Structure 1
Amino acid sequence: MASTRRHFLQTTALTAGSLPAIAQTAGKSPNDKIQFATIGIGGMGSGDTESAIATPGTKLVAVCDLYQGRLTRAKEEWGAGLATTRDYREILNRKDIDAVIIGTPDHWHAAIAIAAMESGKDVYVEKPMVQKWQDGHKVIEASRKTNRILQVGSQRVSSAVYQKAQDLFRSGAIGELNMVQAWWDRNSAMGAWQYSIPLDASPTTVDWDRFLGSAPKRPFDATRFFRWRNYQDYGTGVAGDLFVHLFSGMHFVTGAIGPNRVFGSGGLRFWKDGRDVPDILLGLYDYEKTAAHPAFNLQLRVNFVNGAGESSGFTFTGSEGVMTIGNGVTLSKLPPETDPGTSAGNFDSATQKLIQEEYRRKYPQQNQTADSMRPIEDERWLPPRGYNDHLDHHANFFNAVRTRKPVVEDATFGLRAAGPALLSNMSFYSGKTVAWDPTTMQVKG
């Protein structure tokens, strides 16, 4: 059957262009803007801020960063009246700020998120939610105690593409799931975290001591400050940066809550620039049967040395088909293994002949060439042109801030995605398989 292509429209009302006017909460008029601040305005923090500003009903009032150049640029970009500071506590002390976006290095995520919720702020925190899985329980508890909204910044859970994949999975479109494969490969200096270092970087323009925080003390190092993802002291390697996205998307589609066994392998193969994290990482994971899905295996890969360039995606393999996620969703199914005419004993010879002729007409050269194994059905769903799930994810967050309704990617979801990603690092460095309880979110043994 010829491949068909269909555009699909988002089924939720949470797109950035359709954020509804929502009932009054916390003394706010439905027309009042949600005032927010961003803490950490590097690459991701700036991108998050742009998406938040593009969400109707929001207003950026302050930013925090430890490099003076970013604060200067923030005023140029978003207005001279913008409040700027190097101390995030000044933002948390302001009563006119309703929510904060946390785009800091990973080792600051938990501490600032907890402090923000305790100060009455709702929180959008970049992935991974925590640098150490144990801190995830502290974030969950703070969110519960303070009754604040917390959303983790992995946008796939708000994506119309992944919603379509979830619908297909739940409908049984691929039969019984048995394996998932996902990858995110790159081959560029920027993609491998070789970020540019400003010429004016110095102890004067950078608040180095505050940056270090809980990390080991050491003399000022501009490379570590601006390329922090390359170091275990501040980041979480490719697992925390990219595996966590893949876990988030896969958990959303399947309803899985995590593996019970984790194994990570890889190495530093090309980007030998002083970093202490691998540039190639492979992960193998066992998922036990639950009410949401059968038992299955997961394989993840990140390769920063992919000569073919950047690519990412998913394949969900089932007993009756394969679902692929790229820029859209593709569903593929193979023809029956055997010629139905050979087992049509209940039909007379003339009918059997008609069945065989029809089969050969539909599937010429069956079992003779590679072409005969092309899927008989290949349906593809594509989002509208220009679709941006990052905008949807921020609209989702600010909608929750107004309505006080829960978000999908809350602190518990965040730990269930970050946990196995961080354990991939643990397994890689120890050379051992790690056991994980996905229900209690604890390392076993």
Structure 2
Amino acid sequence: MASLDRRMFLQTAGLAAAQAYTGKISVLTDPFPDMGKAPSANDHINLALIGAGIQGQSDTRWAVQVPGVKLVAVADCYDGRLAHMKEVYGNDLFTTRDYRQILARKDVDAVLIATPDHWHKQAAIDAMNAGKDVYCEKPMIHLYSDGHAMIDTAKKTNRIIQIGSQRVSNVLYAKAKELLAAGSIGELNMVSAHWDRSLSQGAWNYTVPLDASTTTCDWERFEGTAPKRPFDAERFFQWRKWKDYGSGVAGDLFVHLFSGTHFITGSNGPTRGMATGGIRYWKDGRDVPDVMLGIFDYPQGFNLSLRVNFASGGDDNEGFLFTGSEGTMEINGQGLTINHAPHPKDPGLTIGTYTTAMQKQIVEQYDAKYPPPRPTANSLKSSERYTAPKGYSDSYDHFHTFFDAVRTRKPVTEDATFGLRAAGAALLSNESISRGGAVKWDPETMVLAKA
């Protein structure tokens, strides 16, 4: 979210939609309502940021709102971002191009990694080996080979690592998980999710600073394990547009939808996926699709369909629709809506092809077994709606969960195993398009399965 204030979470349109809804409306409880509670001196956490781009700066604004958290150091490959962070957080902030200098500092307790995707693995492993707890932006991996090394390092070092798909800390998602488990929509058979963006929101065409050069940008450090190329300011500042550094819409947005699906359903992931897509609008030299569609098989007996459109002529929006045998459950920007459609206990009559005498006999037997008046499918339908509390933010809650784990050593919901299962499933889409067919995945062992 762009706003700094949790109290701006429910937009005017969202409130209007909730007020116009005529069914049952319940406002969920904010799990962390007291933002001003001061922790003890021993509970203070010094945080360092690695990667101070748009997402890194946004994450930091939420992180430091958690009581007892202070930003003490920042690493980035562009001098302008380091200067800006000093303007915002004070001249005593330690800044560097080399994140290893941050990891060597004894006053750093935890790091927030918001680098390009191809740096996630190395930065996280280096941080955990240096004794730091890690909040790593999604997708956890850039390559399938990254994931198990990160999981193994977390276990070996006994460090907390949380991946940054904040929706799994959302109160609406927690309520959806509860309702689904309680059978509110019957047996789940289909999940549809989308995250579309209009041209006004853009498609990673971030502004390139006027002073971008090999003097102000550490291009060699930025490249890391990526193929070596001459300095390219667009690749440096708009890196999501290229496979060398990012994972396309699959790693940027599909991974959120997988994280939400897995959290709400309790599934570890799909066993097979297939995707299609292409560069339909943004023909600007990028090599990743701006439109992508994916379909996935889950061993729990449901299918997942996903869509991202980076040239949508409609509104910017994200949402889920869970369809079950007895209703639907929808999550959108305004809240969570359940539409119950339970089946009548009686199976209904289909007697039009029988003789009149036979029809009469069947009706008599039916009335004896299911005495009237009998409820109809329409008479059994009902709806209910849940909204987040005013000013609510799942970004704040996700960081609150992380820092609570740093203090208490309690496990987090979105650990490295959860993160790999979400990112691994998301990257099936890229793999499918590359291969031109369906791809199998083992969600238990978290490896690509043999065809």
Given the two structures, how large is their TM-score scaled by the length of structure 2?
0.87
For residues 302-325 of structure 1, give each alpha carbon's deviation from its aligned partner in whole angstroms, at most 9, with x where no partner exists: 011110121110011111111111
Partner SS state of residue 35, structure 2: helix
Tell me the residue number matched to 1:17: 35
Match of 1:298 among 293, 297, 304: 304
Partner of 2:145: 134
> Where does 1:188-227 land on structure 2 (aligned, <5 Å)?
188=199, 190-227=201-238
Q: Cα distance 1:404–1:60, how it changes in 2: closer, same or farther (>3 A)?
A: same
Matched-pair contact (CA < 8 Å) for 1:31–1:57: no
Q: Deviations over 1:78-131 (max 9, x none)?
A: 111111100000000101100000010000000000000000000000000110
**1:157-176 pair list within 5 angstroms:** 157-176=168-187
Question: Take 2:82 and 2:198, find their aligned partners in 1: how far apart are those partners?
Answer: 31
Q: Does 1:84 align with 2:95?
A: yes
CA deviation map 1:2-32 (0-9, x unaligned): 522221113x4x56728795xxxxxxx6644
Q: Matches of residues 230-379 of structure 1 in structure 2 within 5 Å?
A: 230-289=241-300, 295-327=301-333, 328-334=335-341, 336=343, 352=372, 355=373, 376-379=381-384
Query: Equivalents in 2 of 1:42, 1:236: separation in Å?
Result: 17
Distance 1:335 1:123, change over 3 A: closer
Q: Does 1:8 align with 2:25?
A: no
Residues 19-52 of structure 1, C-alpha deviation per residue, up to 9 Å, x if partnerless?
795xxxxxxx664410010001111100111111
Q: Is the 8 A contact 1:323 1:331 kept in 2?
A: yes
The whole-number CA distance in structure 2 between the counterparts of 1:413 and 1:282 is 23
Task: Mark the CA change 1:257 to 1:74 in structure 2 (over 3 Å): closer, same or farther.
Answer: same
Query: Residue 129 and residue 335 in structure 1: after superposition, are their counterparts in 2 closer, same or farther (change >3 A)?
Result: closer
Q: Quick one: distance in 2 between partners of 1:341 and 1:217?
A: 69
- Structure-2 change in CA distance of 1:19 and 1:138 (3 Å): farther
Q: Of the candidates 107, 124, 148, which is equivalent to residue 113 of structure 1? A: 124
**Match in the other structure for 1:371:** none
Which one-letter code corresponds to 1:272 in the other structure? K
1:394 to 361, 374, 399: 399
Q: Deviations over 1:318-342 (max 9, x none)?
A: 1111111113111012375799997
What stretches of structure 2 of length at least 5 have no aligned partner?
A: 1-20, 350-362
Q: From the superposition, tell whether residues 141 and 335 of structure 1 become closer, same or farther in structure 2 (CA, over 3 Å).
A: closer
Separation (CA, whole Å) in 1 of partners of 2:108 and 2:330: 41
1:187 CA drift (Å):
1.2
- AA aligned to 1:315 is L
SS at match of 2:253: helix
What is the match of residue 58 of structure 2? 47
- Cα–Cα, structure 1 residues 179 and 376, in superposed 2: closer, same or farther, change >3 Å? same
Residue 215 of structure 1: how far off its partner (Å): 0.3
AA in 1 matched with 2:322: F
- Please tell me the residue identity of whatever aligns with 2:146: D
Measured after TM superposition, the shift of residue 376 of structure 1 is: 2.9
* Unaligned stretches of 5+ residues in structure 1: 22-28, 290-294, 364-374
Looking at structure 2, the residues matched to 442 and 397 of structure 1 have their Cα atoms a distance apart, in angstroms, of: 27
Within 2, Cα distance between the matches of 1:264 and 1:254? 22
1: distance between equivalents of 2:168 and 2:265? 12
Contact in 1 for aligned 2:43/2:407 (Cα 8 Å): no
Letter aligned with residue 45 of structure 2: I
Tell me how large the CA RMSD over aligned residues is.
Answer: 2.3
Conserved? CA contact 2:38–2:68, under 8 Å: no
Rounded Cα–Cα distance in structure 2 between residues aligned with 1:300 and 1:335? 27
| Aligned residues of 1:127 and 1:240 also touching (Cα < 8 A) | yes
1:412 maps onto 2:430 in alignment:
no
With over 3 angstroms needed to count, the CA separation of the structure-2 counterparts of 1:411 and 1:335, relative to structure 1, is closer
CA distance in 2, matches of 1:5, 1:434: 42
Q: How many residues align?
A: 414
Q: TM-score, normalised by structure 1?
A: 0.88
SS at match of 1:17: coil
SS of 2:178's equivalent? helix
Structure 1 residue 423, shift from structure 2 partner: 1.6
Contact preservation (8 Å) 2:278, 2:291: yes
Identity among equivalent pairs (%): 55
Residue in structure 2 matched with residue 183 of structure 1 by the alignment: 194
> Is 1:35 aligned to residue 46 of structure 2?
yes
Number of the residue aligned with 2:73? 62
The structure-2 alpha-carbon separation of the partners of 1:88 and 1:6, relative to structure 1 and needing over 3 Å to count, comes to same
Check whether the contact 1:19–1:395 (CA below 8 A) recurs between aligned residues.
no
Separation in 1 of the partners of 2:34 and 2:312?
A: 34
Aligned CA distance change for structure 1 residues 285 and 109 (closer, same or farther; 3 Å)? same
2:109 aligns to what?
98
For 1:367, the equivalent position in structure 2 comes to none
State the one-letter code of the partner of 2:399: H
Which residue number corresponds to residue 125 of structure 1? Answer: 136
Change (3 A) 1:339 1:104: same
Going from structure 1 to structure 2, the CA distance change for 1:20 and 1:133 (only over 3 Å counts) comes to farther
**Paired residues of 1:39 and 1:104 also in contact (CA < 8 A):** yes
Residue identity matched to 1:376: K
Q: Is the CA contact (8 Å cut-off) linking 2:201 and 2:316 kept in structure 1?
A: no
The residue that corresponds to 2:355 in the other structure is none
- What is the aligned partner in structure 1 of residue 11 from structure 2? none
